[in-house]
Amino acid sequence: MTIDFILNGEDVVVKTDADVRLIDILRNSFGLLGAKCGCLSGRCGACSVIFNSAITQACLIPAFRIRGSEIITIEGFSQTDEFQDIVSGFSQTALENCGFCNNGKILSAEALLEQNPRPSRKEILSGFSGIRCRCTDPESLVAAVQLVSEIRQRRLYGRSA
């Protein structure tokens, strides 16, 4: 089947079987390797992308669900000011991250803050519930995302939220 969708702001078309996973389409048809192959069963978040504005595990999305969607991967997102906000906040709070979880943490922060610029502790933990990382304690994660929120508010409005 032929599927058209928006990938990192560009209209794209791919020919694929209906049951091929989005993670494989991104990696094999577009050379986008930022979404990692982890568990491939929806349990780790290494393959995260932003799919129609929501953080989504690309290993769980079959090709037939992609048609007409808007997908942002870490490669596209890394070109934005919003990405820099997150990198700054994570870095200033020394949030643990690694090649396995970094993609999912960054995109989870963006999906959350885009919908909810000033998330509560509970909302932050819920927004990251799909990311498996035993190295990060919840309070560090909350502090990092709240700092990202402040950084973004200062950039956008010249003041803290």
Which residues here bind ligand FES, judged by CB under 6 A?
A: 37-40, 42-47, 57, 59, 96-98, 100-101, 133, 135-136
d(CA 122, CA 58): 25
Query: Do residues 129 and 54 touch, judged by C-beta distance below 8 A?
Result: no
Measured from the CB atom, is 29 or 153 closer to ligand FES?
A: 29
CB of 15 to ligand FES, least distance (A): 23
Query: Do residues 53 and 115 touch, judged by C-beta distance below 8 A?
Result: yes
Measured from the CB atom, is 9 or 138 closer to ligand FES?
A: 138
CB of 158 to ligand FES, least distance (A): 33
> What's the distance, CA 126 to chain centroid?
14
For residue 58, what are the β-bridge partners? none
CB of 1 to ligand FES, least distance (A): 23
